[in-house]
Amino acid sequence: MEPTGTFRVRFEGMSYADANRAAAELQSMIQRSAQPGITADVIKDREDTQDFGATLLLVLGTEAVITLSKAIYNYVSKRGDKVVIETADGRVLATGSGAANIDVADTVTAMRTQIHA
């Protein structure tokens, strides 16, 4: 079995409802890539809302990191939303916005260092 890592993608500077829509849109983009080895689930950060959630929880292996990083780069380029990629314990690996897109190579390297058996 390939080693995996867990990451969160948050959308900063948005209302909770807009972040919810952004998480669902990015999830859809990732699912359309048909890359095996990526699980993308929208999760709630707050239990006091009826929304589906505003954070995208990702579980993936080393081979899927490039596909995921490119998908996030394309999303940021298209939408201009501020995206933060962090580890399960909250350590920020990358931040990007329409003005400063995520560096795919740096993001791939940072995510791969967080993948464990």
Q: What is the pLDDT of residues 42-94, one digit of tens each?
A: 987 766 655 566 888 888 888 888 888 888 888 888 887 888 889 888 888 88
Please report the domains of the chain, with CATH numbers, ordered by start residue: 4-112 (3.30.70)
One-letter amino acid at 47 equals E
Helix (H, G, I), strand (E, B) or coil at 110: helix
**Can you read off the two tokens belonging to residue 65?**
């990191």
Burial status of residue 86 (CB atoms within 10 A of its CB: 0-12, 13-18, 19 or more): middle
Q: What is the largest CA-CA distance in the chain?
A: 39
pLDDT of res. 81: 80
pLDDT of res. 9: 92
In the predicted model, is pLDDT for residue 2 greater than 80? Answer: no
pLDDT of res. 48: 67
Q: Which helix (H) or strand (E) holds 4?
A: strand 4-12
One-letter amino acid at 116 equals H
The span from the CA of 59 to the CA of 41, in Å, is 9
